[in-house]
Amino acid sequence: MLEYWEGDGTFRASLKGEDEFVFYDGPPFANGLPHYGHLLTGYVKDVVPRYQTMRGHRVERRFGWDTHGLPAELEAQRVLGLKTKAEILELGIEKFNDACRASVLKYTDEWRSYVTRQARWVDFEHDYKTLNPDYMESVIWAFKTLYDKGLVYEGLRVLPYCWNDETPLSNHELRMDDDVYQPRQDPSVTVAVELETGERLLAWTTTPWTLPSNLAMAVGPDVDYAVVLVDGRETILAEARLAAYGYADVVRRLKGSDLIGLHYTPLFDFLAGTDNAFQVIAADHVTTDDGTGVVHMAPAYGEEDQLACDAVGIPTVLTVDDAAHFTAVVPPYQGLHVFEANRPIIRDLRAAGALVREDSIVHSYPHCWRCRNPLIYKAVSSWFVEVTRIRDRMVELNEQITWVPEHVKHGQFGKWLSNARDWSISRNRFWGSPIPVWRSDDPAYPRIDVYGSIEELERDFGVEVRDLHRPYVDELTRPNPDDPTGRSTMRRVPDVLDVWFDSGSMSFAQVHYPFENTDWFEEHFPGDFIVEYIGQTRGWFYTMHVLATALFDRPAFRSCLSHGIVLGNDGQKMSKSLRNYPDVTEVFDRDGADAMRWFLMSSPILRGGNLIVTEQAIRDGVRQTLIPLWNAWSFFTLYANAANAANTEGAWSTTSPHVLDRYLLAGLRTLVADVQTHLDSYDIASACDAVQGYTEILTNWYIRRSRDRFWSGSQDAINTLYTALEVLCRTAAPLLPLVTEDIWRGLTGERSVHLTDWPSYAELPDDPELVERMERAREVCSVASSIRKASGIRARQPLLKLTVATSTDLAELAPLIAAEVNVREVVLTPADSVGTQMERRLTVNARAAGPRLGREVQQVIKASKSGDWSVSPDGVVVAGGIELQDGEYTLETTLADDQAASGLLSGGGFVVLDTTITPELAAEGVARDVIRSIQQARRDAGLEVTDRIHLTLTADPGTTAAAEQHRDLIMAETLAVSVAIEAGPELTVGVEKAG
């Protein structure tokens, strides 16, 4: 099929129509191979556009590549053998960025092969890359527009910081994946400082390395504190924490507000002389859940610390460098990495008598999502988008978005929006879109210029600009127009933009807006549909929403499907080293791309849950859906000509009077309507459920019950099956594009199922009453089959009678039920006859009822068993005179004990199967077993279904007697023109094609 599509140009032919459905394809990084997460998202990205195309829309599917940022830089560092930013600078930014450019597109061929193999239609020829000058120009336009709106500012703020990559992260990057937070063991210490009033104040921290930077102690103004005697000295901590420290001798009590404003002697004198420092301040984040109820404050290394200290005029003072090594500000620890400094700092505190207690704590700690090293919080100079200013509008615009699953709207995404912080968009790195800000290098003549286009740059700098990457953009300098001396120079700030700013600009940057395609963009924005995994509520979904709100006052997309996470077969995150997932190529080669598509698209992962990938689960989909569908097609091609009738080619028809045909076509109408409803609302898993359910009806009910009609060449049956297959293939085409294409082209002889219109359910017969009756008949057969199985009676053994008590009129369907259940007679009785053969049982849940009823629960249990209970008309259950509540009991309706070979029907009614096997019935059962053996022998001999045979049977006396008794049946069922039956020790079958 892939070869056919390529040669035929099927995908290009599908890009038709003026009514456009706008789909945004989130760009992956191309410096790594695809994984199951990409596979899953890619299938959704194919299902929805295929469906929308069949609905008459034009759906462009431009592939995109995310090419900037630290993932690319880390790969280049690995290839070049570089460890630090200093080594990159020594090599040269130009050479390093050349290596980044080469690495980001390393696997493009593999990606193209992978995407094509999964039968996903994508336009690779008109792809977009975030490194292209056009794309980057749109990005810097976005920055300048935000700057002009007053939504961009520069500030010194505490941010999550990766000391390995020497760059800050955005807060949303810490919340994208659960594995960003990992268990980590750290020392925790309690230290004491001496207040100016003489008491010791105890503070607790899990980051001892920040204590040399301590500038304040924080308390909760309304928290209760206690003064206790410890080694004869008055010591203060939260009253709620006394027991945790083993303190009991309370001297007096006070509120946190009584401590605010008191000064204390610093633990270290490195920052002595800092304005307003070394005082007790108020902070809202102080709790008594752990520690001492007093929080040590280092404003350079804590977000809340900085905010609280700013409020009282305590400055932010840095003591560590970009690589998280202590600077000369703290001479004893200069050059030590902050984590290495914990031990010597604790040792020095102990020697100074300031260490009260040392413990160890295992806590959930953030790690860099790129290099996996533990982060620190550190004050850095960064450029920010002032998200807090547009936060309320972002919440409002979210109301215009349809989320799948729906709970994401006001749940994970909505809550994140409600608490969104300002977005740090600058990275002190090398490979990325530049921050287009030029600043005077002389503070005496301050000036800032912000550029939003290449034309503006060329106008001011007088040179042609071909590449916006470093170092070329850094080389654009000019004299400061505001400096009359002519000595100062306008130089670009060295930072590059956060890669999430790139991806968040995708909607407009992919079409080079506003420099090109302005009319198209303004008419087609927001996009109609996007899809990615749930973590992107803090990533791509979020940054697109921020920029769309800030730039256009619109949401970026109308509908978003946010799926769960794909896990390995051990329930853990997929890992190459653990080999805990099936090889994708092997699955494609063995089971096919449609099998993988079906497994992923029919799973709970599209409703927000996670999914474990196992080979067995993939094969189950093959067994439950793909093979039955293919078998239905094979049956049509095999049996349509079985009777050698004059006219046996199938044709579209919905006029058959036969009850099975009418039912199948009415069910087909429901299928089309249901799948259309589900796909319109992006409920792909439910669409799969509907297709699987109809395929089950088609193969395990309609075809099985219609074999004789096909054998005899019934044109109605042939036309009905043709119609069902043709419509089913069109309906399932987005979900199973390869299998349905093969079947549909073979069935119709036309070009492609993917170039056809979506079927109209209005063209199919509407008969809900028949569907309801047939479904009840199928349920009767299912219950009867279960009775057979429970009674140990094989399906080929005929039985005498099945009694069906139901209010549904099944008279027309009784012959079908008899044939399916293999009984001579079906007796239908009214549902009101059920009462004499049914009983209700009350079972008390002692575990649920016991806590409420106490000893009375035994009285209730006894009453439920003795029959001393009742149910009122409004459903209240009373047992032994005590009213029971929901959850404390189970009420079941069952058949009386004397109806052993019986079963209940849902919604009322039951069936009773007469399991008495007479000698006559036993003989026919044996004959049918013989027929099955003969049919297997025919298949083993490679005979066609229409071939006549000469038959030889050898069997024990009982079997030969049964075969003789039912000779005509055996010959008719097996197309035998002659039968020779001989006695022998066991059943052997000989078949020979008749001349």
Sign of the alpha-carbon dihedral angle for 13, 16, 21, 24: positive
The catalytic residues are: 27, 66, 500, 536, 540, 573, 576
3-class SS string, 882-934 = EECCCCCEEEEEEECCCCCCEEECCCCCEEEECCCCCHHHHHHHHHHHHHHHH
338 backbone dihedrals φ, ψ, rounded to 5°: -60, -40
Assess contact for 88 and 77: CB atoms under 8 A. yes
Compute CA 77 distance to the chain's CA centroid, rounded to the nearest angstrom: 32
How far apart, in Å, are the Cα atoms of 214 and each of 196, 208, 210, 305? 17, 10, 7, 10
Separation between Cα atoms, residue 4 and residue 755, nearest integer Å: 14
Q: Of 225, 552, 626, which Cα lies nearest the Cα of 400?
A: 552
Q: Do strands 437-440 and 489-492 pair parallel, antiparallel, or not at all (unpaired)?
A: antiparallel
Separation between Cα atoms, residue 833 and residue 604, nearest integer Å: 42
∠ CA 31-35-41, rounded to 5°: 105
Assess contact for 179 and 365: CB atoms under 8 A. no
Q: Which letter does DSSP use for residue 84 in this model?
A: S
Q: Which letter does DSSP use for residue 679 in this model?
A: H
942 backbone dihedrals φ, ψ, rounded to 5°: 75, 25
By CB atoms closer than 10 A (0-12, 13-18, 19+), residue 908 is: middle
Q: Which letter does DSSP use for residue 573 in this model?
A: B
Structure tokens at 515: 């420099």
Separation between Cα atoms, residue 315 and residue 786, nearest integer Å: 78
Cβ partners under 8 Å of residue 151, min gap 6: 385, 386, 389, 390, 550
Assess contact for 271 and 317: CB atoms under 8 A. yes
Q: Which residue has the tokens 């005498």?
A: 800
Q: Of 896, 903, 992, 887, which Cα lies nearest the Cα of 949?
A: 992
**Residue at 789: amino acid letter:** K
**Residue at 746: amino acid letter:** G
Assess contact for 299 and 276: CB atoms under 8 A. no
Structure tokens at 232: 């004869």
Q: How many CA atoms lie within 13 A of 380 on its CB side?
A: 26
Cβ partners under 8 Å of residue 298, min gap 6: 210, 211, 213, 214, 215, 305
Q: Do strands 233-238 and 200-205 pair parallel, antiparallel, or not at all (unpaired)?
A: parallel
